[in-house]
Amino acid sequence: MSLYCCDFAEGYAEFVSVCDRTARKHHLCDECQGGIAPGQTYRYEAAKFEGDFYTRKMCERCDNLSASLGELGYCYEQGDLLGAYAEFLRQEKRSFPQWLRDMGYRP
């Protein structure tokens, strides 16, 4: 089963816990797979949805991007934030930032 991030916002989850944490050890962002270094702040989410438990760690850039897409009403599958962002840019005919191009996404 896939979890869509709008499921959190629309109240479908049995519970949701969201907090900002400071990394004590190295982590990977669950969206961009980039590093989260000790001392950096990251977003930690936990939820139970249809009997399954989910967690997600997001670096600051992905957290901001997720919030922006959510405000625009875009729903994306957990783990596909960058793909959803690329699709948004294509639909809106906006230019792709270099960091997104460096990760293999094309207009």
pLDDT in tens, 64-78: 888 888 888 788 888
As a dihedral over the C-alpha atoms of residue 56, residue 60, residue 66, residue 71, rounded to 10 degrees, the angle is 130
Q: What pLDDT does residue 69 have?
A: 84
Q: Does residue 103 sit within a domain?
A: no
Q: What is the residue range of 42's domain? A: 6-98
Q: Evaluate if residue 86 carries a pLDDT over 80.
A: yes
Q: CB of 87 within 8 A of CB of 38? A: no
Q: Does residue 25 sit within a domain?
A: yes
Q: Does residue 105 sit within a domain?
A: no
Confidence category of residue 91, pLDDT binned at 50, 70, 90 = confident
**Nearest to residue 60, comparing CAs of 21, 16, 13, 99?**
21
- Written as six digits, the tokens of 44 are 């930690």
Q: What pLDDT does residue 33 have?
A: 93
How far apart are alpha carbons 47 and 27 in whole angstroms?
19
Strand, helix or coil for residue 66: helix
Q: Is 40 or 86 the better-scoring residue by pLDDT? A: 40
Q: Does residue 13 sit within a domain?
A: yes
Task: Report the domain count for the chain.
Answer: 1
pTM of the model: 0.80
